Amino acid sequence: MGKYEIVIGMELHTQLKTKTKLFCGCSTEFGAAPNSQTCPVCLGLPGVLPVMNKKAFELSLKAAVALNCKIDLETTWDRKNYYYPDQPKNFQISQNYHCLGVDGFVEIEVDGAIKRIGIDNIHLEEDAGKLMHPEGSNVDFSKVDLNRTGQPLAEIVTKPDMRSIEDAKAYMETMRLFLLHLDLSDCKMQEGSLRFEPSVSLRPFGQEKYGNRVEVKNVNSVKFVVLALEYEIARQTQILDSGGTVAQETVLYDEFRNETRPMRRKEESHDYRYFPEPDLVPATVTEDQIIEVRSAMPELPLAKKHRFIEQYELPAYDAEVLADDPGIAAWFESCAKLHSDAKAVSNLIMNDVMKELNSRKISIEEFPVGVEAAADLLRRVEAGEVSKNKGKEVFAEMAASGKNPGDIIEQKGMRQIGDSDAVRKMVEDAIAQNPQAAEQYKSGKGKAKGALVGSVMKVSKGKADPQLVNQLIDEIVLG
């Protein structure tokens, strides 16, 4: 541990899953030709009036309730003024004086311990356009794509409650899953629909007053947030160690050089001159609406993970993998209702189902094997009808052909030989053919048993019940 305590806060912007923009009817679809999804409202032409997207408001309300925020029943809109080519009307409609939700929290898990991260506020705002700066020595222009202008963003701002890079990583992953589980955003970081901007300061352990905070902008992935934080922590440590003072500023992260550098003064606008948006009425929420949203809230991944550990006695690792994907979690629970060995269900999902999903690049909702057929197979394996290994083959065949496990086992002659007379005969033959191995096993060489088991499995084409084979070898050889 270093000399200084690390203090991290995080701003998150996520594009909400709506078909149209926040204040006009333009499509939010990603990947269209530049500037094809624009209209007089999002281009900011004179005389136009914005109309709030109800769906975007409902989604952000859902997030605010799930983040345990106090909800402002009358949310107002403000203009954040700035002059920049990515926003033709020279202001962004946001919420400054009355944010939708304040003073909430979210729970993260780090090294098995639950930690609460305070949410300062969540508010709704419109996105700006995307500037592109073509490379080349003769290039003296930039391009702008205004398709993104006016897309609905929820901004979630934490309190400075994270104390390590591990906390920050856990927070980012928790929020990604949170947004996915609540169906608020598609969270495609490569398309910009989820962005994190950390701020970090250091203070000597035991000191109450926070150190000067540095905000990091222009970090495009979780990996770069981590690298930028590592860089900033090292840089600030060096300044403090040499008796200097860290400047409170905003820096840009340069992913090519892996360093941060201060924003130029003109890029940094401390004074956005917020004032109330005169063209929009306040958005109101009723207590009944909040109760309704709360009662329809799905279980969040962390709570689900701990319920799985408790209810199904799963190892923490299994519970986390299953709980992270809402579809897989639901598949697991329906299958575990039909087959009570939950660990066997979990193994099937983690080893076999996920392998199929990954290789076919499909979601569990598109997977052809239903929970009834899967439970049927697990029952047959448990009853010893097929070995565990053969069970894997049967499952792969079920996924490929959609046939039920009973038919596959029959057609492929995979039924395990559990008839003890037949297996005893094979074991006796194996011992007769390998007297040396039997002798060695008898004299205490455990390894020699493998040759006998192998011989029986070969003769039975892998269908003899291995447990029965082992038991009979012991009985006959050891007496």
**Residue numbers of the site for Zn ion (CB under 5 A)?**
24, 26, 39, 41-42
Q: Report, in Å, the least distance between residue 45 CB and Zn ion.
A: 10
Contact 8, 163 (CB under 8 A): yes
Name the residue nearer to Zn ion (CB basis): 16 or 41: 41
Name the residue nearer to Zn ion (CB basis): 42 or 227: 42
Name the residue nearer to Zn ion (CB basis): 24 or 153: 24
Classify residue 465 by its DSSP letter.
-
Name the residue nearer to Zn ion (CB basis): 129 or 301: 129
Q: Report, in Å, the least distance between residue 127 CB and Zn ion.
A: 12
Q: Report, in Å, the least distance between residue 20 CB and Zn ion.
A: 8
CA separation for the pair 440, 406 (Å, rounded): 41
Q: Can you give the C-alpha Rg of the chain in angstroms?
A: 30
Vertex 185, ends 90 and 126: CA angle to 5°?
Answer: 10
Name, in order, each residue with C-beta under 8 angstroms of 184's C-beta and a sequence gap of 6 or more: 14, 16, 17, 59, 60, 62, 63, 154
DSSP 258-299: TEEEEPPGGG--S----EE-TTSPPEE--HHHHHHHHHTPPP
Reference 372, options 421, 420, 343, 336; nearest CA is: 336
Name the residue nearer to Zn ion (CB basis): 52 or 451: 52
Name the residue nearer to Zn ion (CB basis): 25 or 134: 25
Name, in order, each residue with C-beta under 8 angstroms of 284's C-beta and a sequence gap of 6 or more: 73, 74, 75
Q: Report, in Å, the least distance between residue 146 CB and Zn ion.
A: 9
As given in the structure block, the two tokens for residue 422 are 């037949």
As given in the structure block, the two tokens for residue 233 are 């922590």
Q: Report, in Å, the least distance between residue 147 CB and Zn ion.
A: 9
Q: First vs last Cα of the chain: how many Å apart?
A: 61
Name the residue nearer to Zn ion (CB basis): 26 or 184: 26
CA separation for the pair 35, 112 (Å, rounded): 47
Q: Report, in Å, the least distance between residue 55 CB and Zn ion.
A: 15
Going from the C-alpha of 394 to that of each of 186, 381, 463, 468, the distances in angstroms are 35, 10, 13, 21
Q: Report, in Å, the least distance between residue 303 CB and Zn ion.
A: 39
As given in the structure block, the two tokens for residue 304 are 């689900």
Name the residue nearer to Zn ion (CB basis): 24 or 246: 24
Reference 427, options 458, 461, 473; nearest CA is: 473
Name the residue nearer to Zn ion (CB basis): 22 or 373: 22
Q: Report, in Å, the least distance between residue 151 CB and Zn ion.
A: 10
Q: Report, in Å, the least distance between residue 54 CB and Zn ion.
A: 16
